[in-house]
């Protein structure tokens, strides 16, 4: 009888120890997918602040702007590959856009209106993307001086 209790005790100890099955391995959390810059810029953007050669010409929160016309500035990239640009002087241009595969530049090309291309651009404007766009912000800088901006380099902080 004593052997029976020892055997029963041994069996219950093994049963309580979980047997030989290992605990299930937790499923790792998959990494958050990275959204491409081309996807992030696909919105309608307006000017929050604008600088020409480092001098602020427009700030949305200011009541006294040097170039008030930026209140109407709009960069519509909401349709993939198609752009509508409303300049600070109210002129509207349409064309196409591409984002470089490295996400560091935005090229507007084939820009035209009833009056032709934006002055001094030949229909192409290239921007450096200064930081990764967010859901609400895009920071751009023209790669060359812009005639319509007193031949200055234009830096745009845009919001949607």
Rounded Cα distance between 86 and 91, Å, is: 6
Secondary structure element (H or E) that encloses residue 58, with its range: strand 55-59
Q: What is the pLDDT of residues 49-77, one digit of tens each?
A: 999 999 999 999 998 999 999 999 999 99
Q: What is the pLDDT of residues 100-158, one digit of tens each?
A: 999 999 999 999 999 899 988 999 999 999 999 999 999 999 999 998 888 999 999 99
Structural domains counted in the chain: 1
Indicate whether 15 belongs to any domain.
Answer: no
Indicate whether 9 belongs to any domain.
Answer: no
Secondary structure element (H or E) that encloses residue 14, with its range: helix 2-16
Rounded Cα distance between 18 and 157, Å, is: 61
**Which domain, by its residues, includes 50?**
37-159
Indicate whether 96 belongs to any domain.
Answer: yes
Indicate whether 123 belongs to any domain.
Answer: yes
Indicate whether 55 belongs to any domain.
Answer: yes
Q: How far is CA 95 from the centre of its chain?
A: 20
Indicate whether 27 belongs to any domain.
Answer: no
What are 95-98's contacts with CB under 8 Å, separation 24+?
A: 95/123
Q: How far is CA 110 from the centre of its chain?
A: 23
> CATH code at 87?
2.40.128.280
Indicate whether 6 belongs to any domain.
Answer: no
Tell me the whole-structure pTM to 2 decimals. 0.78
């Amino acid at each position: 009888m004593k052997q029976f209790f020892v055997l029963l005790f041994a069996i219950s100890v093994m049963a309580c120890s979980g047997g030989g099955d290992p605990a299930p391995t937790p499923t790792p959390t998959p990494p958050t997918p990275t959204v491409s810059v081309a996807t992030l810029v696909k919105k309608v953007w307006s000017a929050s602040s604008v600088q020409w050669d480092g001098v602020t010409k427009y700030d949305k929160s200011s009541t006294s702007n040097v170039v008030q016309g930026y209140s109407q500035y709009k960069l519509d990239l909401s349709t993939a590959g198609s752009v509508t640009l409303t300049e600070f002087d109210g002129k509207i241009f349409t064309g196409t856009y591409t984002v470089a595969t490295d996400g560091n530049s935005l090229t507007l090309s084939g820009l035209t209106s009833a009056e032709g291309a934006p002055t001094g651009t030949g229909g192409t404007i290239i921007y450096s993307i200064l930081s990764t766009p967010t859901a609400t912000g895009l920071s751009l800088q023209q790669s060359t001086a812009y005639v319509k901006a007193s031949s200055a380099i234009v830096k745009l902080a845009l919001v949607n």
